Amino acid sequence: MSTPNRKPVRVLVVCLGNICRSPMGEAVLAHEANKLGLPVAVDSAGTANYHVGDTPDERTVSTCKKHGVPIDHQARAVERTDFKDFDYILASDNQNLSNLQRMAPKNPKAKISLFGAFGNGKPIADPYYGGQSGFEQCYKQCVSYSQGLIKEIYGEDIYDTTESTTQPTPSKTSQL
């Protein structure tokens, strides 16, 4: 079931530096939506500007590639316009959620929440200083939370009624 005439739901995934958790969340959510042919436009950003312009951490890239998830991103910081441009802004952890709530203008268009609210409610631990197992755990959480968000938007039975497609993941410019 494809919904080509429906306006894409716009989602921003956020972590601290935008090189580990949020670009992985962006890639996984885009991949999950694409497999189902759903109109979801995804981007990611950081609440800090430490890595603006950098590519994702190599461990993030290798974890995504291991699981067949395309990833192509340049780090950026959250901007004030994001709060009106996106439907959902999803924080990787409680500290970033607090930062986003503090940064948000009054009455933002975007629903700001913890990414984990669409799963088991747990934050995504920052894998930056750990080993590969932390990136694998991050990946598993991103898959679970992405599927939860898709179910929230498109209905609980979306995975039962939608046939998977083999469409390539749209380029970043076509998603946004």
Catalytically annotated residue among 15, 20, 138, 142: 15
Q: Are 113 and 88 in contact (CB under 8 A)?
A: yes
Catalytically annotated residue among 10, 126, 138, 142: 126
Q: Average pLDDT of 126-153?
A: 97
DSSP state of 123: -
Q: What is the pTM of this model?
A: 0.89
Q: What percent of the chain has pLDDT over 70?
A: 88
Q: Does residue 43 have an active-site annotation?
A: no
Q: Does residue 80 have an active-site annotation?
A: no
Q: Does residue 15 have an active-site annotation?
A: yes
Catalytically annotated residue among 10, 20, 21, 57: 21
Cβ neighbourhood burial of 115 (10 Å; 0-12, 13-18, 19+): buried
The confidence score (pLDDT) of residue 175 equals 44
DSSP state of 106: S
Q: What is the pLDDT of residues 57-77, one digit of tens each?
A: 999 999 999 999 999 999 999
Q: Assign domain 9-175 to a CATH class.
A: alpha beta
DSSP state of 72: -
